[in-house]
Structure 1
Amino acid sequence: MEDLVVPLTALATAVAVLVLGFGSLVARRLVLSRDVGTFDCSMRREVPGGARAHLAGSWMLGLARYERDRLDWFRFFAWSLRPARSLERGRLVILGQHAPSGPEAGTVLPGWVVVRCAYGTVTVELAMSEGAYNGLAAWVESAPPGQGINVA
């Protein structure tokens, strides 16, 4: 029986670390999503390269939250309460949206749309539900006076 004490202690410690890690991710998501204007949103951005520029193949799962003049995007699998990316409303231009097709259809959640945006000189794609897209378009269009409307 004494031979099992060390392995069982190590196993219990590993399980406790996994449970605490998972619990902290769930708690972080609850803290971030308790504010109004938070929605599930995946993101991928253009890889710079001049004429060879292309969109990175991997989508990053996350949450987006509207702030007064920016859209904050948080990685889903991270512990930080700071956004991984902030997109200023005045620089965000919605170029269009489409239903995912081909290999892209298997990388975003079912029923979501892909929204192609220009952000300065970079192209960003966001994947979200149709309702979230309608909210994003309305948020971009409702910019305060003095800012242009950025929906193509």
Structure 2
Amino acid sequence: MNEVGIPLIVLAAALLLVLAILAAMGVRRISLRHALGTFDASISTAGKRWTMGVCRYADHELEFLRLFSVSPVPARRFLRSSLEMRGWRAPEEDEIRRVPPGSVVVMLGYRDETVLLAMDYGAYTGLSSWLEAGPVAGIGIWR
């Protein structure tokens, strides 16, 4: 091979790798959006930055999967019986550019931390219903 051939092959391989990763992210995004029990959301914990993703209802958990990832493993899992709905509000001025347009910010308590989820109002009503219809937490005690 000549001096130009090897760098060109390396560059082409790197480009193909980037395109394969982008394609995998696109396929994952489409499959997540078409699955039942999912909704678009952004998450912020402990006053940190907002991360875009998809939330998915599981049997006893609410799972958060990052949008820009190829991993099938959720980034965060919240046990249903430990989640507490604390209300919702409109995004504050500094949050408007960081959350999806038309979102409401839902305040959740999870163990000792406050979790903020930004989602559309329809997803909020679904989350609220899912939490209220939770299973029995103990004998004779409704959640």
CA distance in structure 2 between the partners assigned to 1:23 and 1:9 by the alignment = 21
Map of 2:124 onto structure 1: 133
Map of 2:142 onto structure 1: 147
CA distance in structure 1 between the partners assigned to 2:124 and 2:99 by the alignment = 14
Question: What is the percent sequence identity of the aligned residues?
Answer: 36
Alpha-carbon deviation of 1:4?
4.2
Contact kept in structure 2, 1:63 and 1:73, CA below 8 Å: yes
| 2:106 partner letter | V
CA RMSD of aligned residues (A): 1.6
Secondary structure in structure 1 of the residue aligned to 2:95: helix
Alpha-carbon deviation of 1:15?
1.6
Map of 1:38 onto structure 2: 38
Contact kept in structure 2, 1:94 and 1:137, CA below 8 Å: yes
CA distance in structure 2 between the partners assigned to 1:90 and 1:79 by the alignment = 29
CA distance in structure 2 between the partners assigned to 1:101 and 1:112 by the alignment = 11
Query: Aligned pairs, how many?
Result: 138
In structure 1, the gaps of 5 or more residues are 47-54
In structure 2, the gaps of 5 or more residues are none
Map of 1:101 onto structure 2: 92
Contact kept in structure 1, 2:62 and 2:77, CA below 8 Å: yes
Contact kept in structure 1, 2:21 and 2:70, CA below 8 Å: no
Structure 2 CA distance for partners of 1:123 and 1:21, relative to 1, 3 Å: same
The structure whose residues are more often helix, as a share, is 1
Contact kept in structure 1, 2:39 and 2:56, CA below 8 Å: yes
Alpha-carbon deviation of 1:114?
0.6
Deviation per CA, 1:34-77: give whole Å up to 9, x if none: 3201111111111xxxxxxxx11x10111100112211111112
80-89 or 30-39: bigger deviation: 30-39
Map of 2:27 onto structure 1: 27
Contact kept in structure 2, 1:32 and 1:81, CA below 8 Å: no
Contact kept in structure 2, 1:70 and 1:88, CA below 8 Å: yes
- Give me the TM-score of the superposition, normalised by structure 2: 0.87
CA distance in structure 1 between the partners assigned to 2:10 and 2:58 by the alignment = 44
- Give me the TM-score of the superposition, normalised by structure 1: 0.83
